[in-house]
Structure 1
Amino acid sequence: MTTVASRAELYAEVQQFYADQMQRLDNRDIPGYAQTFTEEAEFEHTPGRPPARTRAGIIADLVAFHKRFEADPMQRRHWFGMTDLRPQDDGSIIATSYCLVVKIRPGRAPEINPSCVVHDVLVRLDGALLTRSRRVSHD
């Protein structure tokens, strides 16, 4: 039986997981970010692009994605909120979050672009949360 306390603990655990995961991405620790996914994970993040599959595929995809910003001093900050968690009978967790990507450039006002909805399936392996699949829908 799910209790308020157990739901609160799960919510806090997922929020901490997302904080760690997004800070890795925002610091461009792409291999570290990929380690927060299962080995066979699927990651769809940009409209019109096919999903990346496997950790190695996620790394290759994100390295290629970030190359187009090499000359841009932009810093990105991914902000997850309004996270809805739906524990499943198989132990996985369906997590849906709103995500705002804040782009920051020296001397300019922060820009929010894009606004997204993140659809995740989280699983627990050896006691740790990992992302099995992520689909990002842009508003």
Structure 2
Amino acid sequence: MKHTDSVEIQQFYARHMHLLDGGAAEAWARTFTPDATFAAPSMTEPVRGREDIAAGARAAVGRRAADAEVHRHCVTMTTAQETGDGIEAVSYVQILATRRHGAPRLLLSCVMRDRLVRQDGELLVAQRRISRDDRPHG
């Protein structure tokens, strides 16, 4: 992976998480391909498609607003490797949560495994798999 590619991937994740944490659910969902999949331990089945990913993000934004809580997704230690069908990116993600007038706390520590693809010159998430550090893997 070239240095410029690494910087582009870091910038992608910075914009991606700023959108989510800022409550821009629709814009965040547009950083996924139209047929993307999103799988996390809290889901019984993976979410399929940009529209359903956007609906999930809108619901999460609403819950945070109702709880008067701010979330910050901190993406770190990203490794990226080109494959035949995109870029496999693996990152550690810590989610910090802060209630109004409260102290920040670590809400979750996760590993995020993405397959990134380039469409119309832009990086997009085609597949995301999340595993939580506090739950068994497998």
Residue 81 of structure 2 aligns to which amino acid in structure 1?
R
Distance change (3 Å), C-alpha of 1:55 and 1:48: closer
| Residues 49-94 of structure 1: per-residue CA shift (max 9 Å, x gap) | 322111111012222344433421110000000001011134x000
2:78 corresponds in structure 1 to: 83
Stretch moving more, 81-90 or 21-30:
81-90
- Give 2:12's aligned residue: 17
When the two structures are superposed, what TM-score results if normalisation uses the length of structure 1?
0.88
Q: Which of 29, 36, 50 is residue 41 of structure 1 equivalent to?
A: 36
Point out where structure 2 has 5 or more consecutive residues left out of the alignment: 134-138
| Counterpart AA for 1:49 | T
Single out whichever of 15-24 and 47-56 deviates more from structure 2.
47-56
Find the partner of 1:136 among 113, 130, 136: 130
Cα RMSD after superposing both structures: 1.5
Partner residue in 2 for 1:74: 69
C-alpha deviation, 1:127, in angstroms: 1.1
Give % identity: 38
**1:126 aligned onto 2:120:** yes
Q: Structure 1 residue 26 and structure 2 residue 27: aligned?
A: no
Amino acid at match of 1:38: T
Match of 2:54 in 1: 59
Q: Does 1:110 align with 2:104?
A: yes
Letter in 2 for 1:40: D
Aligned length: 133
Residues 63 and 111 (structure 1), Cα distance of their counterparts in 2 relative to 1, 3 Å cut? same
Deviation at 1:7, TM superposition (A): 1.9
Aligned-pair CA distance for 1:46? 4.4
